[in-house]
Amino acid sequence: MHTMKKTDTKVNADLQKFIAKFEPNKFKVLARGIEIRGNSDLHRSITFAKELIERLKLNLTVHHSAEMASYGGFEVLHPSN
């Protein structure tokens, strides 16, 4: 059974802080972060995500592509070890 907000051991502390503040409606846990989906205003969401990461001084980056934009998605990733 899955809950709406996933917080498992793979999600690092910075990512957990980001999820708590950004409050994404839909996201998928990835190996190095999360993919946020279903954003109706993608530019605004990406800008807000980048500002939040900077303001909270989180070790995360935002990645997006044309393919992800087609379904209103972008990724928030932590650096690989």
In a domain, 45, yes or no: yes
In a domain, 53, yes or no: yes
In a domain, 29, yes or no: yes
Total domains, the chain? 1
Using CA atoms in the order 58, 30, 48, 44, what is the torsion angle rounded to 10 degrees? 160
At 7, is the pLDDT very low, low, confident or very high (cuts 50, 70, 90)?
very low
In a domain, 75, yes or no: no
In a domain, 81, yes or no: no
Can you give the residue range of the structural domain that contains 39?
Answer: 13-69
In a domain, 8, yes or no: no
**pLDDT tens for residues 18-55?**
999 999 989 999 999 999 999 999 999 999 999 999 99
| Res 60 pLDDT > 70 | yes
**Mean pLDDT, residues 50-76:** 96
Q: Is pLDDT larger for residue 81 or for residue 12?
A: 12
